[in-house]
Structure 1
Amino acid sequence: MHFTTLVASVTALAMSVSAVPSPATPANTRYVQLRLYGEPGCSAQNLGELGVYGDYVNSCQSFGDNEVESVSFEYAINNCTVSVYTGDSCDAGAQAVALNTCLSGDEEFHSYEVFCSSL
Structure 2
Amino acid sequence: MALPTTDTRVIQLRLWGETGCAENNMGELGLYQSGLDECGTFAGPYAIHSITTYYVVAGYAAQFFTDSNCEEGVQNVTAPGCLDGDTAFASYKLVSN
Which TM-score tier does this pair reach, normalised by the shorter chain? 0.7 to 0.9
Residue 85 of structure 1 corresponds to: 65
Q: Counterparts in 2 of 1:99-118, with a 5 A limit? A: 99-116=79-96
Distance in 2 between residues matched to 1:57 and 1:37, nearest whole Å: 23
**Does the residue aligned with 1:55 lie in a helix, a strand or coil?**
helix
Larger Rg: 1 or 2?
A: 1
Calculate the TM-score normalised by the size of structure 1.
Answer: 0.71
Given residue 8 of structure 2, which amino acid in structure 1 is its aligned partner?
A: T
Q: Counterparts in 2 of 1:28-67, with a 5 A limit? A: 28-65=7-44, 66-67=46-47
Distance in 1 between residues matched to 2:21 and 2:89, nearest whole Å: 13
For residue 99 of structure 1, report the CA deviation from its aligned partner: 1.3
The structure richer in strand per residue is 2
For residue 116 of structure 1, report the CA deviation from its aligned partner: 2.6
Q: Which runs of 4+ in 1 moved over 4 A?
A: none
Distance in 1 between residues matched to 2:19 and 2:35, nearest whole Å: 25
Moved more, 41-50 or 60-69: 60-69
How many residue pairs get aligned? The number is 94
Structure 1: state its 5+ residue gaps: 1-20
Distance in 1 between residues matched to 2:38 and 2:58, nearest whole Å: 16
Bigger relative contact order (CA 8 A; separation at least 6): 2
Structure 2: state its 5+ residue gaps: none
Could you tell me whether the CA contact under 8 Å between 2:13 and 2:29 is conserved in 1? Answer: yes
Could you tell me whether the CA contact under 8 Å between 2:56 and 2:80 is conserved in 1? Answer: no
